[in-house]
């Protein structure tokens, strides 16, 4: 637990890969550096919004942060069409202008290789809008690693909803008790836990530019190499 506002003590994951058939991975903050998203929504969009409305960047930022929060945990929160209409800006075009900031976290590819070596089913499960997903898959080329990629808009609700996990189980025909989920959002992990997803991992370093923050409730990692047995350790067949 937190003591005097300090960092919670890290809960280290203990996994038995023999007990896992399926690996579900979030995208933003989990596989990809969330610095792109933080910069885009908290700095880049407010700069353009301030020019459009002739207000200061700080005024624009405060207004936009309030509008973001109003639809958090819903599909509108990540819907590029919704925000383009609401803000009067071409959000996909703005994302393309700074797509050089999109990057894969260290050790992600090695982890994906490890999972495939063990013949685990790999699924990318994201709240990101399909437009954002296309931009990021084109930039990072991580798509082919996965058996399937599912956006929350395909399911009809955000991952923070219990209904998402019910529908996902039906869609993928997975055994939830033998499934691992890694995500950088505790609300998502809590919904998955309530539904019965067997193994939950919190990604404590979603952005390369922000301080690591461990979960008080879930096993945490900074990098995916923490889930790969060290050289010389027996890997389950």
At residue 73, the pLDDT reads 87
Domain boundary, last residue among 47, 80, 100: 100
pLDDT at 44 over 90: yes
What is the percent of the chain with per-residue pLDDT over 70, rounded to a whole number?
95
At residue 77, the pLDDT reads 92
Lowest-confidence region among 1-5, 82-86, 113-117, 121-125: 1-5
**Domain enclosing residue 188, as ranges:** 17-33+103-227
* 9 belongs to a structural domain: no
Residues 230, 206: Cα–Cα separation, whole Å:
23
Domain boundary, last residue among 52, 79, 100: 100
pLDDT at 209 over 60: yes
Q: Kindly state whether residues 126 and 213 are assigned to the same domain.
A: yes
CATH assignment of the domain containing 109 = 3.40.50.1000
Mean pLDDT of 196-214: 97
* 25 belongs to a structural domain: yes
Q: Kindly state whether residues 133 and 191 are assigned to the same domain.
A: yes
* 45 belongs to a structural domain: yes
* 11 belongs to a structural domain: no
Catalytic positions are 19
At residue 231, the pLDDT reads 54
Q: Do residues 226 and 106 touch, judged by C-beta distance below 8 A? A: no
Burial category of 34 from C-beta neighbours within 10 Å (exposed 0-12, middle 13-18, buried 19 and up): buried
* 4 belongs to a structural domain: no
Q: Kindly state whether residues 122 and 207 are assigned to the same domain.
A: yes
Mean pLDDT of 160-177: 96
Domain boundary, last residue among 100, 120, 135: 100
Q: Kindly state whether residues 94 and 126 are assigned to the same domain.
A: no
Q: Kindly state whether residues 23 and 81 are assigned to the same domain.
A: no
* 170 belongs to a structural domain: yes
* 142 belongs to a structural domain: yes
Which residue pairs from 221-226 have beta carbons closer than 8 angstroms and sit at least 24 positions apart in sequence?
Answer: 221/13, 221/182, 223/105, 223/106, 223/107, 224/105, 224/107, 224/108, 224/110, 224/111, 224/182, 225/106, 225/107, 225/110, 225/111, 226/12, 226/13
* 8 belongs to a structural domain: no
Q: Kindly state whether residues 89 and 133 are assigned to the same domain.
A: no
Q: Kindly state whether residues 113 and 53 are assigned to the same domain.
A: no
Mean pLDDT of 107-132: 97
Mean pLDDT of 203-215: 97
Total domain count for the chain? Answer: 2
Q: Kindly state whether residues 154 and 218 are assigned to the same domain.
A: yes
Q: Kindly state whether residues 164 and 205 are assigned to the same domain.
A: yes
Q: Kindly state whether residues 114 and 203 are assigned to the same domain.
A: yes
pTM of the complete model: 0.92
Q: Kindly state whether residues 29 and 42 are assigned to the same domain.
A: no
Backbone angles phi, psi at 138, to 5 degrees: -65, -40
Q: Kindly state whether residues 25 and 91 are assigned to the same domain.
A: no
């Amino acid at each position: 637990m937190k003591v005097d506002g300090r960092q919670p003590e890290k809960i280290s994951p203990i996994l038995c890969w023999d007990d896992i058939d399926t690996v579900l991975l979030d995208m933003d903050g989990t596989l990809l550096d969330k610095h792109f998203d933080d910069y885009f929504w908290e700095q880049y969009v407010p700069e353009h919004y301030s020019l459009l409305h002739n207000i200061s960047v700080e005024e624009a930022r405060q207004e936009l942060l309030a509008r973001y929060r109003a639809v958090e945990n819903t599909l509108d929160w990540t819907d590029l069409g919704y925000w383009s209409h609401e803000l009067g800006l071409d959000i996909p075009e703005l994302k393309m202008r700074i797509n050089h900031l999109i990057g894969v976290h260290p050790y992600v590819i090695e982890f994906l290789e490890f999972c495939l070596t063990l013949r685990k089913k790999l699924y990318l499960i994201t709240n990101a809008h399909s437009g954002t997903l296309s931009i990021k898959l084109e930039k990072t080329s991580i798509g082919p690693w996965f058996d399937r990629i599912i956006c929350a808009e395909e399911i009809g609700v955000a991952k923070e909803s219990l209904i998402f996990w019910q529908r996902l189980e039906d869609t993928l025909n997975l055994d939830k008790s033998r499934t691992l989920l890694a995500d950088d959002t505790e609300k998502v992990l809590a919904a998955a836990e309530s539904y019965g997803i067997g193994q939950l991992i919190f990604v404590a370093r979603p952005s390369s530019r922000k301080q690591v923050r461990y979960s008080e409730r879930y096993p945490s990692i900074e990098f995916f190499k923490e889930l790969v047995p060290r050289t010389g350790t027996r890997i389950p067949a």
